[in-house]
Amino acid sequence: MKKLFLIPLLLLVISVMNAQPAIDYYLPAGTQYDLSVPTPQSYFGFVPGTFHLSYDKLASYMETLASKADRVSLIRTGVSHEGNPMMMLVITSPANQQNLEKLRVDHLCNLDPASSPTAIRRDPLVVWLGYSVHGNEPSGGNAAPLVAYYLAASQSEEVRKMLDQTIVLIDFCLNPDGFNRFASWVNSRKSLVNNPDVNSVEFSEPWPGSRGNHYWFDLNRDWLWMQHPETEARIEQFHRWKPHILTDHHEMGSNSTFFFQPGVNSRSNPLVPPANFALTQKIGTYHAKELDAIGSLYFTEEMFDDYYFGKGSAYPDLNGSIGILFEQASSRGHLRRTEYGVLSFPYTIRNQVITSLSTLKASQDLNRELKYNQIDFYKSALAESSRFALKGYLFGDQHDPYRADLMAGLLMKHQVRLQRIKKPAFINGIHYLPESSWYVPLNQLQFRLIRTLFEEVTQFADSTFYDVSTWTLPYAMGLSFAGIDDKNLARISPEGFVNTIPPIASSMTGDQSQVGYLFTCDPYHLHKALYDLLTQGIRVNVATEPFAAQVNRQSRRFMQGTLFVPVQFQPVDGKTLYRQLGEWAKKYGIDISAVNSAYTVEGPDLGSGSFTQIAMPKVLCLTGEGLASREIGQIWHLLDVKFYIPVTLADVNRADQLNLGDYNTLILVSGSYAQLGTAFSDQLKSWVRNGGKIIALRSAAGFLNREGLMTLKSVRKESSGDNPAITPWADRNNDRIGSSLPGTIFATRLDTTHPLAFGYHQPILSVFRTGSQFYEPSPTAWENVAVYTDQPLISGYVSRKDLKTMAGTSAIQRQKSGRGAVIYFADDPVFRGYWTGQHKMMLNAIFWGNL
């Protein structure tokens, strides 16, 4: 009896600590529901907010909704890196569901000023609700099933009417892999009695956290670049539906309240028509009203902005939609003490549910305005383009059609229309060839998107940036480009529009040789192909000098960096080698030239010491607490996904147990490396002397200097002439957010004869810089691979002081050390994955960085 009495008492105590809200806590009270639609509680076995939903549970509930409710259908959009199927719910009236494809096509038709609008007033609105792009910001993804259930099952007249007029797309989790990682962590540290103590391990997820996706990328910076399947799938759906509104539900630091856009007007990107801000503001009044009704505090016109179009709330603005960012103070775990009081996970979910529904309410009332906003967006784009000084942009690389095709492919995914050119052209000192160039006319619907990807920007109304200040794509991809006016348009004579990019054909010049085969290192993906060849056991040499050789009885010039496969001393006979190389060339689209004599017309002969054998790369990258996870993820993604080269990510805290002899390349990303002991540093020094090579990025300079592995001397900062004593107090918030170098493109002078620059033909290399630590160039000859030019600014914001300081400083250095080498990149050569212009430099460093 005693026991029976105690148990309910205990449960009572626990239930107070862990009060679980009923469904009415989240959703409009008094709603009648269709009982045939399963509630989230009946499906999960708990009310959302009790535990964190794993992606699997979330996705399977959404699938069930689609199978049980006639208002709901489901689109499979892609598969994440970790094999999680990605999907989106479509919720609308059963009648609209029957007619969905026609409604979608009509909607797209109405946006094109060239087609005659059919029934704009009757066509449904498209509202896209997007949740939790950052894995450790879970309130959005946990709100999604509640919103979906309400829309699928509510019997209210208001919801019925809304679904007659609206197609609601629920992108219920934008980052399945990160979301799963976080749920798994936080559920596994949850106590029965929720404990708000911030010292609890529940709130300190281990490095690298789960904000990013599988490769630790921030998917909310990837909307323009589509480096990941998650974003690629999303952009495809975005353009299939072109929503009138797209919401982006995030979380921010715990000691805050709730934020919804419009954000800071002075920091809106000037390419977006002002009507967008005004409409976002109007929609904001609906969020304000609903949050006021429950006494939830918020702020709206500070901190966040819509400048960088790679973010989920800004990309829609550049595409005729209204993108809206929501930021909820995070409980991180289940219950957390904050400066504003004890914040529960359900509370954070409720704010996301409420603002999802207030968005839908606003869309009803502003139906007409939203439709004409989108139609006007495209109409005005065409009108502006016809008045614009330029007709279009030409881009390409006469030595590497692959990188040009990569960029063309990316533009096509953004619905940009491209053309090939008929004639070769010589513009601003650059040759553009028809087979390796593309023309982008500006007179098209994506006029504004094209501008943002091609224009250099150096004038800013506001010098505070939430993210980077520029992203001019041809510089990132190392491609030449030119604005085309009427006169040049006649010279290039563009051909019809191209919708797909055919694979580039390979060629074999000459027959089977008894001497060997040559190919250049120009193609973007050369090192991927090369690694494949090395794994087949084929011996490959790299030329360190230019030369000319007889190919098919004609003399042909080859640059330094040309690859040579001798016939002798290979694991296969000459005939097999010829066949194998032919197949390999076809697979990768490589042009091969057979040579029949080792005697060259000019420069070193093929048996000279200027042809050095390439060792199979064995790459180690230190990883772990205190190191820049973003940079590690980028390198991992670059090698693993783009180049198909294995890289060992080893924990920096266990470095003492490593045998460096198993590797020939060590990558050190930004970080202090204070945890490395003397045993490791002794091993490291002797490993480098014996031929090992270190590739170090950015703030790893401190470690190199400390260990005497490289000498990098800091440059003393120039004075700006501004007096900090009179910096207004009122500007302090902007100063906190802003950086004097928020992410800006600069020109460096490149030594194109250096082994790290093999395959580079232009003397100017553009680099992307965040942060203002500068180093002097090496005083030793041949050690400076790239140095900032005297007037380095290409695009983006930089303070006068930093611009003055950086001229002539070091960008890339290589110092020999015994038989090994240390290579230092002052800037991130793999920035956000899309900075492809420097990938070859990174791969050169890995394959022959200690030549």
User: Residue numbers of the site for Zn ion (CB under 5 A)?
Assistant: 134, 137, 250
Pick between residue 310 and residue 671 the one whose CB is nearest to Zn ion. Answer: 310
The helix (H) or strand (E) run that includes residue 812 is strand 810-817
Minimum distance between the CB of residue 138 and Zn ion, rounded to whole angstroms?
11
Minimum distance between the CB of residue 55 and Zn ion, rounded to whole angstroms?
17
Minimum distance between the CB of residue 220 and Zn ion, rounded to whole angstroms?
6
Pick between residue 106 and residue 467 the one whose CB is nearest to Zn ion. Answer: 467
Tokens 């997820």 found at: 205
Minimum distance between the CB of residue 178 and Zn ion, rounded to whole angstroms?
10
| Strands laid side by side in the 418-421 sheet | 480-484, 392-396, 437-441, 418-421, 494-498
**DSSP character at residue 389:** S
Pick between residue 162 and residue 219 the one whose CB is nearest to Zn ion. Answer: 219
Pick between residue 124 and residue 138 the one whose CB is nearest to Zn ion. Answer: 138
d(C-alpha 173, C-alpha 80), whole Å: 11
Tokens 């219950």 found at: 335
Pick between residue 250 and residue 698 the one whose CB is nearest to Zn ion. Answer: 250
Minimum distance between the CB of residue 251 and Zn ion, rounded to whole angstroms?
6
Pick between residue 321 and residue 328 the one whose CB is nearest to Zn ion. Answer: 328
Cα angle for residues 39, 41, 44 (degrees, 5° grid): 110
Residue 410: both structure tokens together: 């990316």
Residue 62: both structure tokens together: 């959404």
Minimum distance between the CB of residue 300 and Zn ion, rounded to whole angstroms?
17
d(C-alpha 169, C-alpha 569), whole Å: 61
Minimum distance between the CB of residue 518 and Zn ion, rounded to whole angstroms?
50
Query: In terms of Cα–Cα distance, which of 820, 851, 532, 841 is closest to 661?
Result: 820
Residue 808: both structure tokens together: 């002539």
Minimum distance between the CB of residue 121 and Zn ion, rounded to whole angstroms?
36
CA distance between the termini of the chain: 84
User: How far does Cα 687 stand from its chain's mean position?
Assistant: 35
Pick between residue 219 and residue 592 the one whose CB is nearest to Zn ion. Answer: 219
Which residue, judged by CB position, is nearest to Zn ion in the bound state? 250
Minimum distance between the CB of residue 324 and Zn ion, rounded to whole angstroms?
14
Nearby residues of 451 by Cβ (< 8 Å), 6 or more positions away:
271, 442
Pick between residue 221 and residue 769 the one whose CB is nearest to Zn ion. Answer: 221
Residue 430, Cβ neighbours under 10 Å: how many?
Answer: 17
**Residue type, position 375, single letter:** I
Pick between residue 250 and residue 839 the one whose CB is nearest to Zn ion. Answer: 250
Pick between residue 137 and residue 707 the one whose CB is nearest to Zn ion. Answer: 137
Pick between residue 218 and residue 397 the one whose CB is nearest to Zn ion. Answer: 218
Give bridge partners of residue 821 from the DSSP assignment.
Answer: 693, 816
Distances (CA, A) of 559 to 115, 244, 368, 572, 661: 52, 53, 62, 28, 33
- Residue 226 contacts residue 301 (beta carbons within 8 Å): no
Minimum distance between the CB of residue 133 and Zn ion, rounded to whole angstroms?
6
Instruction: Supply the DSSP string of 482-551, one letter for each residue.
Output: EEE-HHHHHHH-EEEEE-S-PPPPPEEESS--SSEEEE-S-STTHHHHHHHHHHTT---EEESS-EEEEE
Minimum distance between the CB of residue 211 and Zn ion, rounded to whole angstroms?
7
d(C-alpha 639, C-alpha 660), whole Å: 19
d(C-alpha 675, C-alpha 226), whole Å: 35
Minimum distance between the CB of residue 132 and Zn ion, rounded to whole angstroms?
8
Pick between residue 250 and residue 414 the one whose CB is nearest to Zn ion. Answer: 250
Tokens 């009203």 found at: 289
Residue 163: both structure tokens together: 């679904």
**DSSP character at residue 652:** G
Minimum distance between the CB of residue 299 and Zn ion, rounded to whole angstroms?
16
Pick between residue 250 and residue 814 the one whose CB is nearest to Zn ion. Answer: 250
> Which stretches of 541-628 are assigned E, i.e. beta strand?
541-543, 547-551, 554-558, 563-566, 591-595, 611-613, 619-623
Residue 667 burial (C-beta neighbours within 10 Å; 0-12, 13-18, 19+): buried
> Which stretches of 206-269 are assigned E, i.e. beta strand?
245-252, 258-260
Say whether the peptide bond before residue 273 is cis (omega within 30 degrees of 0). no
Pick between residue 175 and residue 237 the one whose CB is nearest to Zn ion. Answer: 175
Pick between residue 137 and residue 522 the one whose CB is nearest to Zn ion. Answer: 137
Residue 613: both structure tokens together: 């054998």
Minimum distance between the CB of residue 769 and Zn ion, rounded to whole angstroms?
24
Collapse the DSSP code of 463 into the 3-class scheme (helix H, G, I; strand E, B; otherwise coil) and give the result. Answer: coil
Instruction: Supply the DSSP string of 50-94, one letter for each residue.
Output: SSPPPHHHHHHHHHHHHHH-TTEEEEEEEE-TT-PEEEEEEE--H
Q: Are strands 784-795 and 341-344 parallel, antiparallel or unpaired?
A: unpaired
Minimum distance between the CB of residue 140 and Zn ion, rounded to whole angstroms?
9
d(C-alpha 238, C-alpha 202), whole Å: 36
Minimum distance between the CB of residue 261 and Zn ion, rounded to whole angstroms?
13
- Residue 839 contacts residue 642 (beta carbons within 8 Å): yes
Pick between residue 132 and residue 472 the one whose CB is nearest to Zn ion. Answer: 132
